[in-house]
Amino acid sequence: MKRLFEGNAPRVFVFDFDNTIANTAASPDSAMKGVEEASREAIGAVFGAYGTEALLKIGGAGNRSPRELIEELLQAGAAEDARSLMCGSALGYLGKHRSALMQCVPEGKGQSLALTVPATLDTMTEIFVRAKLLILLPQVGESWPRRIPGAAFFQEEAGWRGRTCGILSAGHERFITRFYETHHRKPLPMVTDDDIRGSLCKDWMKPDERLLRYALRKFGCFCVPMDDVLYLGDDLVRDGLMAKAAGTRFGWYNPAGRAPATPLWDGAFEFRRYDELSGAIFGTAWAVRV
């Protein structure tokens, strides 16, 4: 890679988490469930047969945010009383699993689980998110999700060089924290979907640039010019277009060398390995073990 930023490394690095820091797209071994499978199982458990059917209709959870997913499930079914079917099933599930669900999200974050009839989109989304976490959290360990080679070391290097690092993710705090703890690292400051769901900005989702500005404020970066911020992510649309709209630079993590469906723009670049990125930004040489 050629040298980036002419020796003036950005002051702030914001990372996406899924498939930028941790390889959550890969299926875990044997009896464990990947994110897509956990979503499917959680939909079935929370919303019953109606939920499973509607999920098939929309072609699986894909890369949708939880809120988008539940909203589409509500619209996907033929049943006129879709909402009441899903709501009844979800409230039954909540009644049975309330105390376990309370443990999945830090206190004061996420949406309240206060029981309302009919359940709102927010409550249904919250129950689904926590049901999915109930499946995924116990699986986080050495073997899944694997670390993206060099990502942790790159973060440490940026820290040694006085740079601020943080995570902006549609994922979840307990999951990300457990991932870092498993690998004996201190978690970076983070803004996750748990911070967004229960807040006034619950409709914001990548590529909404307000999310990135909100995260920078949370990281204490009030007076940093946007072009002194580098956002790193694997999704050219959700991550890339958010960075572009916010006016930050964007590093597209593209290990497989995929051809971009969205062409890169001025201020965006591709990288395939973190050691190469380190060389291009800081001029240092270290090699990841791939």
Tell the smallest beta-carbon distance from residue 265 to Mg ion (Å). 19
Applying CB under 5 A, among 15, 16, 193, 216 the residue interacting with Mg ion is 16
HEC-encoded secondary structure of the chain: CCCCHHHCCCCEEEECCECCCEECCCCCCCCCCCHHHHHHHHHHHHHHHHHHHHHHHCCCCCCCCHHHHHHHHHHHCCCCCHHHHHHHHHHHHHHHHHHHHHCCCCCCCCCCCCCCCCCCHHHHHHHHHHHHHHHHHHHCCCCCCEECCCHHHHHHHHHHCCCEEEEECCCCHHHHHHHHHHCCCCCCCEECHHHHHCCCCCCCCCCCHHHHHHHHHHCCCCCCCHHHEEEEECCHHHHHHHHHHHCCEEEEECCCCCCCCCCCCCCEEEECCHHHHHHHHHCCCCCCCC
Looking at beta carbons, which residue is closest to Mg ion?
18
**Nearer to Mg ion (CB atom), residue 19 or residue 182:** 19
Please pick, from the candidates 4, 12, 18, 279, the single residue that binds Mg ion as defined by CB under 5 A. Answer: 18
- Smallest distance from the beta carbon of 199 to Mg ion, in angstroms? 21
Nearer to Mg ion, 16 or 209 (CB): 16
Q: How far is the CB of 64 from Mg ion (least distance, A)?
A: 13
Smallest distance, Mg ion to C-beta of residue 87, A = 31
Between residues 19 and 199, which has the closer beta carbon with respect to Mg ion?
Answer: 19
126 binds Mg ion (CB under 5 A): no
Interface residue with Mg ion among 1, 11, 19, 159 (CB under 5 A) is 19
Q: Give least dist CB 150 to Mg ion, A.
A: 16
Q: Under rule CB under 5 A, how many of the chain's residues touch Mg ion?
A: 4
Part of the chain binding Mg ion (CB under 5 A), chosen from 19-27, 221-229, 240-248, 258-266: 19-27
> Nearest approach, Cβ of 93 to Mg ion (angstroms)?
28
Q: By C-beta, is 17 or 219 nearer to Mg ion?
A: 17
Among positions 228-267, residues that touch Mg ion (CB under 5 A) are 234
Residues engaged in binding Mg ion (CB under 5 A)? 16, 18-19, 234
